């Protein structure tokens, strides 16, 4: 009888070490030289498809050593690097190196953090991580919750808990059929997840009341209140208000305390989308702009954004976690979970949408400890300072218009010197859009866009611990140089 099975999948200890050490060598070299590489090569999908070729599924295997070496090279040669100091697009951060190693460790153990009995210490680590995240953003220790894949899922989880809590009780059994009267409220700047949630979870996109914003891009709470009152008179059933803490385009935080008051007055669920911005509440000077956060029934935040965790890590915090259980728990006969000490086991499958779940908490837990609250406070503050510097430099530059600056997001646009006064607004939009495309393909810097009061802007979001003042100065030079080129190209000068 064989005592050890021979399989093509197993690696001997020696092989594992050889392939693994080589990988770690390559990754550490990559991290050391990331700033010397282009942010992206801007290659076309067609080019990349040609690179992979059209070979069919391999019949026989290849050695792990060979595969890992060639794949590392493939990825390093053809990826966009979020970790590059001049990557300031969207809201994707540089990944903490400890988080990279944490993912390796987590995969090695391959815990299924759906049930405590399957993931004894991992479940406790996730619980502690969630507690620490609540403490980090300064809400009370009552809050608990679950880690999910990202902001969309974190918002969905809170949204569903709110729907369970505030919609008529029979929707759990009868479904949404016939309850087309539910209404939810959020500002026009709210991220696309709201529409997706309304569609996916049966309320329909018309259930969303998109509330106009003030001059400063905050939800207009007066219009909000008026809309709710009108809806009540018309026989609708308002269930939830969503406040944004750091909107995705310009980083603005809604007047959360005003929203909290309205929620109390009308018995509505108060959800805060803090996917990007809420970690800034760790900075004492910024605490006041987050007033009201501590009243939220649910909060979404994204460790894979401003907490620099590698993708994927989002988190839903709920003031009374029983709402999650009420929404997501089920007890099939084939689960022998949580019988021993009643109430002591936490089975995360009962807190969210997923059943089998990975150990994403490990990277967040480790990075929180490696850096500590004060380390984060410093880094987040520096990101904000760099964003302010970007705005100031743009403001001083005759070819740039600084448009907005909130948290760590700056928006600006290129305005050619030779342009006739009064300036041509539509042309400026065309020019800046073309400029952004060119910059994104060029690989020197990666920015994204925002439309602010009908102006097409370049947008920089700094959630990047590698970005320095020098990078910001160089980016200003790149934008003006490429802006001028693009203007000349468009005007045939």
Ligand X SMILES: *Cc1c(COP(=O)(O)O)cnc(C)c1O
Give Cα separations from 155 to 160, 331, 443 (angstroms).
9, 24, 33
Point out which residues pair with 183 in neighbouring strands: 238
254 in contact with ligand X (CB under 6 A)? no
Copy the structure tokens of residue 336.
């022998």
In whole angstroms, what is the distance from residue 196 CA to residue 199 CA?
5
275 in contact with ligand X (CB under 6 A)? yes
152 in contact with ligand X (CB under 6 A)? yes
Give Cα separations from 416 to 316, 457, 474 (angstroms).
45, 14, 19
Query: Which one, 209 or 271, has the nearer CB to ligand X?
Result: 271
**Nearest to ligand X by Cβ — which residue?**
151
> By rule CB under 6 A, what string of x and - marks binding of each residue 192-231 to ligand X?
-x--------------------------------------
Query: Which one, 448 or 480, has the nearer CB to ligand X?
Result: 448
In whole angstroms, what is the distance from residue 464 CA to residue 306 CA?
8
DSSP 311: S
Element (H, E) at 450: strand 448-452
Query: Which one, 275 or 362, has the nearer CB to ligand X?
Result: 275
Closest C-alpha to 389, from 36, 93, 88, 80: 88
479 in contact with ligand X (CB under 6 A)? no
**Minimum distance from residue 411 beta carbon to ligand X (Å):** 15
Q: Please count the residues of this chain forming the interface with ligand X, following the rule CB under 6 A.
A: 15
314 in contact with ligand X (CB under 6 A)? yes
Of the candidate spans 76-84, 242-250, 278-286, 332-340, the one that interacts with ligand X by CB under 6 A turns out to be: 242-250
Query: Which one, 91 or 472, has the nearer CB to ligand X?
Result: 91
Among 220, 273, 350, 383, which residue interacts with ligand X (rule: CB under 6 A)? 273
Of the candidate spans 63-71, 198-206, 240-248, 372-380, the one that interacts with ligand X by CB under 6 A turns out to be: 240-248
> By rule CB under 6 A, what string of x and - marks binding of each residue 79-98 to ligand X?
------------x-------
Element (H, E) at 183: strand 182-187
**Minimum distance from residue 191 beta carbon to ligand X (Å):** 3
Among 103, 225, 302, 350, which residue interacts with ligand X (rule: CB under 6 A)? 302
Instruction: List CB contacts of 224: < 8 A, sequence separation 6 or more.
Output: 185, 211, 241, 259, 262
> By rule CB under 6 A, what string of x and - marks binding of each residue 370-389 to ligand X?
--------------------
Query: Which one, 432 or 448, has the nearer CB to ligand X?
Result: 448
**Minimum distance from residue 402 beta carbon to ligand X (Å):** 22
Tell me the three state secondary structure of residue 273. Answer: strand
In whole angstroms, what is the distance from residue 37 CA to residue 32 CA?
11
Tell me the three state secondary structure of residue 451. Answer: strand
Among 85, 99, 145, 150, which residue interacts with ligand X (rule: CB under 6 A)? 150
Q: What are the DSSP calls for 351-400, one per residue?
A: TSS-SS---THHHHHHHHHHHHHHHHHHHHHHHHHHHHHHHHHHHH-TTE
Among 85, 99, 114, 151, which residue interacts with ligand X (rule: CB under 6 A)? 151
290 in contact with ligand X (CB under 6 A)? no
276 in contact with ligand X (CB under 6 A)? yes
Angle CA 430–432–437, to nearest 5: 95
306 in contact with ligand X (CB under 6 A)? no
299 in contact with ligand X (CB under 6 A)? no
Contacts with ligand X in 180-199 (CB under 6 A)? 191, 193
Q: Hunting for tokens 């988190």 — which residue is that? A: 315
Of the candidate spans 243-251, 338-346, 355-363, 422-430, the one that interacts with ligand X by CB under 6 A turns out to be: 243-251
In whole angstroms, what is the distance from residue 389 CA to residue 386 CA?
5
Query: Which one, 154 or 366, has the nearer CB to ligand X?
Result: 154
* Cis amide prior to 43 (ω within 30 degrees): no
Tell me the three state secondary structure of residue 155. Answer: helix
**Minimum distance from residue 202 beta carbon to ligand X (Å):** 21
Residues at the site binding ligand X, with contacts judged by CB under 6 A: 91, 150-152, 155, 191, 193, 244, 246, 248, 273, 275-276, 302, 314
């Amino acid at each position: 009888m064989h005592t050890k099975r021979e399989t093509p999948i197993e690696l001997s200890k020696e092989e594992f070490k050889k392939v693994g050490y080589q990988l770690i060598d390559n990754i550490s070299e990559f991290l050391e030289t990331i700033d010397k590489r282009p942010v992206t090569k801007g290659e076309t999908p067609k080019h990349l498809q040609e690179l992979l070729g059209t070979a069919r599924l391999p019949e026989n295997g290849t050695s792990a050593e060979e595969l890992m070496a060639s794949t590392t090279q493939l990825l390093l040669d053809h990826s966009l690097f979020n970790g590059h100091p001049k990557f300031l697009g969207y809201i994707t951060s540089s990944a903490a190196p400890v988080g990279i190693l944490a993912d390796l460790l987590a995969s090695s153990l391959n815990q299924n953090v759906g049930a405590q009995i399957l993931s004894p210490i991992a479940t406790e680590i996730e619980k502690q991580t969630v507690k620490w995240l609540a403490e980090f953003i300064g809400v009370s220790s009552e809050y608990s919750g679950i880690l999910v894949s990202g902001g969309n899922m974190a918002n969905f989880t809170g949204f569903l808990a709110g729907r369970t809590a505030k919609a008529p009780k029979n929707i759990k059994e009868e479904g949404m059929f016939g309850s087309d009267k539910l209404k939810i409220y959020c500002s026009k700047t709210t991220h696309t997840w709201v529409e997706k949630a309304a569609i996916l979870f049966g309320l329909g996109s018309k259930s969303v009341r998109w509330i106009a914003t003030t001059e400063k891009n905050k939800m207009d709470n007066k219009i909000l209140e008026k809309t709710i009152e009108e809806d009540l008179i018309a026989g609708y059933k308002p269930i939830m208000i969503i406040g944004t803490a750091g909107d995705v385009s310009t980083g603005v935080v809604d007047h959360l305390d005003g929203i909290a008051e309205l929620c109390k007055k009308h018995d509505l669920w108060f959800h805060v989308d803090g996917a990007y911005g809420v970690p800034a509440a760790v900075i004492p000077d910024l605490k006041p702009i987050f007033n009201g956060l501590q009243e939220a029934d649910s909060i979404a935040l994204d460790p894979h954004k401003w907490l620099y965790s590698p993708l994927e890590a989002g988190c839903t915090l709920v003031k009374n976690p029983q709402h999650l259980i009420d929404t997501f728990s089920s007890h099939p006969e084939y689960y022998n979970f949580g019988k021993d000490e009643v109430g002591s086991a936490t089975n995360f499958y009962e807190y969210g949408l997923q059943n089998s779940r990975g150990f994403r908490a490990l990277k967040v837990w480790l990075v929180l400890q490696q850096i500590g609250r004060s380390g984060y406070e410093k880094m987040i503050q520096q990101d904000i300072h760099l964003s302010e510097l970007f705005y100031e430099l743009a403001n001083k530059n005759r070819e740039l218009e600084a448009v907005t600056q909130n948290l760590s997001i700056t928006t600006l646009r290129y305005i050619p010197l030779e342009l006739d006064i009064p300036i041509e607004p539509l042309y400026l939009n065309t020019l800046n859009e073309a400029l952004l495309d060119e910059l994104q393909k060029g690989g020197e810097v990666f920015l994204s866009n925002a439309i602010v009061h009908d102006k097409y802007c370049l947008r920089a979001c700094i959630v990047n611990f590698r970005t320095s003042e020098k990078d910001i100065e160089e980016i200003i030079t790149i934008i003006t140089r490429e802006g001028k080129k693009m203007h000349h190209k468009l005007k045939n000068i």
